[in-house]
A and B are shown apart, each in its own frame.
Chain A
Amino acid sequence: MTPLKERLVQLEVLRYNPDTDTEAHFQRYEVMCQEEWVVLDALNKVKADIDPTLNYRWSCHMAVCGSCGMMINGEPKLSCHAFLRSYEGVIRVEPLAHFPIERDLVTAPDDFMEKLKRVKPYVIPKEKKPISEGEYKQTPAQLMKFRQYSMCINCMLCYAACPEYGLEPEFIGPAALTMAHRYNLDSRDGGRKERQEVVATHEGVWTCTFVGACSEVCPAHVDPAGALQQLKITSSIDWIVEHLIPGGKS
């Protein structure tokens, strides 16, 4: 069996200790890695062999849990999905942009979690019926209408990529608005009107200027940029019906 190729990897990691630091600073690590490793493996090696004080989040190591998002050479990435062979020279690792840094590479997701709650990301049935009447059925075509948008893993890479969120933190943001769209499109759902109170506002879809970076960095190919443009169209139609058509109601 041929031995696995090894490579000396240089990592430049942003460090911040809330107990002692007033500013963040970069720390350089050199670590021997196997060629097929990902950045997360390199960080694990650093933590195991060099510096046990390094903090970061991770769980599944297979791009499913969405917890290891970081800026890698300035690009929002899942560190379990960022292969070392894709990088040359020093690899710069920073916490996700636009989120407060809790410690080292760990960010505070509180703002995103609060915004996600505001869009009511769950089915609000059109008509409530007793369990005895059976389940709410759905055809495959009805499922396909929203399936892509249900693939979000809440990794927040889209927020780190979105300059509008960085500049206007009130922006509800790509993932939460996409989740609103996902439930609006669900044939079992009747909650669009409730969600519009958040969606069709300045801090809702109208802060989005369609930079499109959210969709480019999304590891689950959800296409939040597409979802937001569709929300803009439905919100505009609502406005036209309400304000320009006599007797029209949103």
Chain B
Amino acid sequence: MSRRPLVRECPPTTWYFRQPRYLRYMSREITSIFVGAYCVLLVVGLQRLAAGPAAWEGFLQALRTPASIMFQFLALVAAVYHAATWFNATQKAMPVQIGEDFVPGSVISGAHYVAWAVLSLAILYLAGVF
């Protein structure tokens, strides 16, 4: 009896609709578009700053438009989601063993959240918010 195995292809463009967990994965991947776009916005801001006071003021005006505020809000949500899922993943990538036991994953992820909060506060302090 000869073998004639049947190969069923994985649909290259629609596979992520097969399972909710694949959609969750894709939603995380898509957040990088917003994070990347916000980085471009920051670079444009630097360029406007270098161009002089009038250009900088125009840039600030553009940031205050409803469309810009909506984009910044979406970028913030995307960045927080991306960061949270990243921190939650650290416990898988960086297990810490002490003797025969492993440090609980929540401690490893938690340490990242604490570092995030401390660094954010430091940046806000340097920016003169406090």
Seen from chain A, the residues whose Cβ lies within 8 Å of a Cβ on chain B are 16, 18-19, 21, 23-24, 74-75, 97-98, 100-102, 108, 140-141, 144-145, 163, 166-167, 209-213, 215-216, 223, 225-226, 229-230, 232-233
Tell me the number of A-to-B contacts counted with CB atoms below 8 Å.
77
Contacts of A19 in B (CB 8 A): 1, 4
Q: How far is the CA of A247 from the CA of B6 in the complex (A)?
A: 51
Cβ-defined contact, B6 with A167, below 8 A = no
Q: Mark B4-18, 1 if CB is under 8 A from A, else 0.
A: 111110101001101
Number of B residues whose C-beta is below 8 Å from A? Answer: 28
Indicate whether A230 sits within 8 Å of B95 (C-beta atoms), given known contacts A18-B5, A101-B5, A108-B5.
yes
Please, could you name 5 A-B residue pairs with CB atoms under 8 Å apart, sorted by A? A18-B6, A98-B10, A211-B25, A212-B21, A230-B92
Closest to A167 in B: B10
Cβ-defined contact, A210 with B89, below 8 A = yes
Indicate whether A233 sits within 8 Å of B93 (C-beta atoms), given known contacts A98-B10, A141-B99.
yes
B65 contacts partner chain A, Cβ-Cβ < 8 Å: no
- Given A144-B101, A163-B10, A210-B89: 9 more A-B contacts, CB < 8 Å: A97-B8, A100-B7, A141-B97, A163-B16, A166-B10, A209-B25, A226-B92, A230-B92, A233-B94
Indicate whether A229 sits within 8 Å of B93 (C-beta atoms), given known contacts A141-B99, A163-B16, A167-B15.
yes
Contacts of A211 in B (CB 8 A): 21-22, 25
Contacts of B89 in A (CB 8 A): 210, 212, 229
Contacts of B22 in A (CB 8 A): 163, 211, 213
B64 contacts partner chain A, Cβ-Cβ < 8 Å: no
Q: How far is the CA of A212 from the CA of B29 in the complex (A)?
A: 13
Kindly identify, within residues 63 to 90 of chain B, every residue whose CB is under 8 Å from any CB belonging to chain A. 89
Seen from chain B, the residues whose Cβ lies within 8 Å of a Cβ on chain A are 1-8, 10, 12, 15-16, 18-19, 21-22, 25, 29, 89, 92-95, 97, 99-102
Q: How far is the CA of A83 from the CA of B69 in the complex (A)?
A: 50
> Main SS of the interface on chain A?
mixed
Contacts of B29 in A (CB 8 A): 209
Q: How far is the CA of A182 from the CA of B19 in the complex (A)?
A: 29
Cβ-defined contact, A101 with B6, below 8 A = yes
Contacts of B97 in A (CB 8 A): 141, 144-145
Contacts of B12 in A (CB 8 A): 167
Contacts of B16 in A (CB 8 A): 163
Contacts of A166 in B (CB 8 A): 10, 15
Indicate whether A16 sits within 8 Å of B6 (C-beta atoms), given known contacts A226-B93, A233-B94.
yes
Q: How far is the CA of A167 from the CA of B19 in the complex (A)?
A: 15
